[in-house]
Every structure is written in structure tokens, then in C-alpha cells.
Amino acid sequence: MKIKTAVFPVAGFGTRMLPATKAIPKEMITLIDKPLIQYAVEEAIDSGIERIIFITGRTKKALEDHFDINVELNNTLLESGNLEMLEEIKKISEMVNLVYVRQKRMLGLGDAILCVKDIVNDDPFVVILPDDIILSDVPVVSQLMTQFEEYGFPIVSTMKVKEEDTSKYGIVKFKECINDRLSLLDSLVEKPKTNSPSTNAIIGRYVITSSVMKALEEINVGCNNELQLTDALNLVAARESVYGYEFEGKRFDCGTRSGLLEATINFAYKRSDLKEDLVKIIKELPNN
Ligand code: UTP
């Protein structure tokens, strides 16, 4: 079955990026000249997604405004003859079919995803956490959709992390290798404090099916007293099948200071209009 919907849970407080996130959503922090959310939306569109559902909260107005039409700005750009920027700004508001849902209380990623239950019905969809920004030749969402079309079960994207970092991630345990990058999972655990089953961590791209939605309704709150998507996937792995897909690309955790800095440098280095400046700036840094 072809996936047409992407769900973006963006209701979280973004406490790790305070004070930047006091008055603006974490997803509106800029990576060079675009907010994080726009990179993630472009990844979805480039993967063939036709509808995006944002799960938002009280402080997310700037995010809604970013994808809305700004008539005054358009007129100003038109009058000043800045037609190139006008086209770029218009494109943002015409990008894709957008739906907004409110998560009333921050009860975790699993609870956020349950908010779309009546909108997606029983159809599969992808989940994108926009603070995970990924540089890749093929968009990661598209990589996951290709695997889903063949295997038809929920998929989490994974990457190897350092042993000492496993307590920051959802971690998977493999059962059986299916191909170069895809494995059937034995189990999944959210932020293991000790005895992590592996160093393969879940990152913010998933394929979710109706069996995961059902499992989300059955589980109790877990780690951090939140309803955890990882726990629902673990239940589905025990009953049916869940796959782990080691994506192709480099991921940056833009929900942290050092991750955002690393992404900024890497993305600037890839841009022909900025590469030379970046190299010059770094060369001229004082030694101490
Ligand atoms: P995070 O764990 O990164 O939480 O959530 P956060 O609030 O965004 O950031 P910190 O940890 O306080 O700095 C992972 C994703 O799940 C969403 C977040 O918006 C983020 O995209 N989320 C989390 C919700 O939509 N609702 C929740 O109740 C919790």
C-alpha cells in the first residue's frame, strides 16, 4: 500500500534548546536560512507525501504562520521588485496539503500520535521528528517507503550510536537480517538506563500502521511517565513484525546545541554560496 500522509509531532516544549525555545517553537529555529521544519517538510514532499498532519501545542503559532500566505509581505516583495524571493516565499505556502491537530497535554510522543487516529483511519503513515535533520542522496522517508511497499509492516529507522549514548535513545534488538539495511526486530526499549540490548538507536523517521495505533491504546505510560511510541512498537514486534532500517545518510540532532552547530557547518559546507566563506571563517579562528 502506498503511503500518502506524513505526521509531524511538534507539540513538545524543546527544553534542551531554552532560552531559544521560550517564545518560538523548536522547529522554527533556523538552520542557516530556513527553519528546521521546512527541511523536514521538503524531505516529505521529495518522497511523494501528499498530506502533512502537524500535531501542535499552544506555543506553535509561528509554525502555522510560516506555511500560511503573508499577503503584506508578498505585496512588499512585489513592489520592491524582489521577484526571486517572492517566488520562494509563495512556494512555502503552496507546498502541500496541511492539517493541524492540537495535543492538549504533553503526555509523550505516543500520546501525540494517537491524536491523529480519526484522521488517518486505518491507513499507514510516516512519522517525522523534525529536529532530526538528515543529509542524504535519497530522502530517508523515501527509503523507508520503498521498504514498506515490499514488506508491509511498521519500520523504525536506526543508526549506530556510542555505547555511552544508548540511554538517550530508543534501542532495538535485531532478530533476523533481511537485507543489507533491513532487519526484523526482536524487541525495542526506550532509553535503557543499563544493559542496553545493542547500540542500534531509533531516530526520528518511522512507518506506522494501524496495529501500532491499536497498541498505543493498550499500553500504559512508560519512561519519563509518558506514553512511549517505542513501547507500542515493542508490543507489535512481539505479536506480529516490526522492522529496523539502517538509513543511508548523516543525521544531525538539531534539538541540541552541538547537533545544531554540527548541522550548520555541514549544510553550509554543502552550499556553493557559503562553502568558501565557511572555510575562510574556520581558517581564521584564533588558536586559543
Ligand atoms: P523530544 O523528546 O525531543 O521532546 O520529543 P521535546 O519537548 O521536543 O524537546 P526537549 O527534550 O524538551 O528538549 C520528540 C518529538 O516528539 C514531540 C516533540 O515535539 C518532538 O518532535 N512530542 C513530544 C510531542 O509532540 N508531544 C509530546 O507530548 C512529547
Q: Please give the distance, rounded to the nearest whole angstrom, from the Cα atom of residue 12 to the centre of ligand 1.
A: 4
Q: What is the mean pLDDT of the chain?
A: 93
What does the pLDDT look like over 2-45, one tens digit per residue? 899 999 999 988 899 999 998 889 999 999 999 999 999 999 99
Short-list 55, 58, 63, 61, CA closest to 37: 63
Assess contact for 155 and 132: CB atoms under 8 A: no
Q: Please give the distance, rounded to the nearest whole angstrom, from the Cα atom of residue 264 to the centre of ligand 1.
A: 21
d(CA 191, CA 1): 32
What does the pLDDT look like over 87-101, one tens digit per residue? 887 777 787 788 999
d(CA 280, CA 104): 47
d(CA 218, CA 188): 16
d(CA 38, CA 93): 11
Q: Please give the distance, rounded to the nearest whole angstrom, from the Cα atom of residue 190 to the centre of ligand 1.
A: 14
- What are the sequence ranges of the domains in the chain? 5-283
- pTM recorded for the entire structure: 0.94
Is residue 11 in contact with ligand 1, taking CB distance under 6 Å? yes
Is residue 37 in contact with ligand 1, taking CB distance under 6 Å? no
Q: Which of 85-89, 102-106, 155-159, 242-246 has the lowest mean pLDDT?
A: 85-89
Give Cβ neighbours of residue 104 (< 8 Å, ≥ 6 apart).
none
Neighbours of 177 (CB within 10 A): 10
Q: Are strands 243-246 and 155-160 parallel, antiparallel or unpaired?
A: parallel
Position 60 scores a pLDDT of 80
Ligand 1 atom with minimal separation from the 9 CA:
25
As beta bridge partners, residue 183 has 177, 244
Short-list 124, 140, 122, CA closest to 44: 140
Is residue 225 in contact with ligand 1, taking CB distance under 6 Å? no
Assess contact for 171 and 198: CB atoms under 8 A: yes
Task: Give percent of the chain with pLDDT exceeding 70.
Answer: 100
Torsion angle, alpha carbons of 90, 37, 113, 206, to 10: 110
Position 214 scores a pLDDT of 97
Q: Which of 91-100, 254-263, 275-284 has the lowest mean pLDDT?
A: 91-100
Ligand 1 atom with minimal separation from the 105 CA:
28
DSSP 159: E
Short-list 6, 48, 47, 41, CA closest to 27: 41
Helix (H, G, I), strand (E, B) or coil at 187: strand
Q: Please give the distance, rounded to the nearest whole angstrom, from the Cα atom of residue 200 to the centre of ligand 1.
A: 21
> Which residue's CA is minimally distant from atom 29 of ligand 1?
108
What does the pLDDT look like over 111-153, one tens digit per residue? 999 999 999 999 999 999 999 999 999 999 999 999 999 999 9
Beta strand residue intervals within 178-253, DSSP E? 182-190, 200-208, 243-246, 250-253
CATH architecture of 5-283: Alpha-Beta Complex (3.90)
